[in-house]
Amino acid sequence: MSESSGEYFGAVTDITRDVMEKKRILYENTHDTLTGLYKYKHFKYLAKELLQNMPAGKLCAIVMLDLDCFKSINDNFGHDTGDKYLQVFSSVMHAMPVEHFLTARRSGDEFCMMIFDCEEKSEIEKFLNDFYEALKSTHIALTDTESKTISASSGFVWTADSGANLSDLLKYADEALYQIKKKTKGSYAEYSA
């Protein structure tokens, strides 16, 4: 801007394209392109922040999930159907209340969630039950004549300690996941040492 004889002169530049490009790059750096969920690295960053800032008297849980029999979906119906299966599963994760759920794709058919801002352990379990009920009512068309209900197994660990180590919580939830997968599929289990 400049002023001359009481008049103002200036140039206006439209930076919309630059701003949109920066937002696109940020989104691609933090989100999985196939599912739209957070990438695992960004999930860990956000989960650590939520954990460290957890108010006294609140609880949170780390949940590790694995799709059941996903390899057979890819092998029998192709990778395009496998991608669709991942997307439909992710849509159930997206539908969970954002004020209590942080969701991410870890890799392949592995996912994770943080359930936070809970008053007691039973609230965490209610959210997990809600998630599994939503999964049970979600069907995916594998072919023109065949559909399937999505099945996933998960393990979780909960804490009321804002000073807990996130890496340990992730490891414990992972251990609980593999324990439940040895026994049954399509359910969740709590970590026990």
Q: How high is the pLDDT of residue 1? A: 63
Sheet strands (E) in the chain: 2-4, 7-9, 38-39, 59-67, 101-107, 110-118, 139-141, 147-149, 152-159, 188-190
What class has domain 35-190? alpha beta
Is the confidence at residue 57, as pLDDT, over 90?
yes
Q: How high is the pLDDT of residue 2? A: 67
Q: pTM of the full predicted structure? A: 0.86
Of 193, 160, 192, which Cα lies nearest the Cα of 60? 160
Q: How high is the pLDDT of residue 14? A: 75
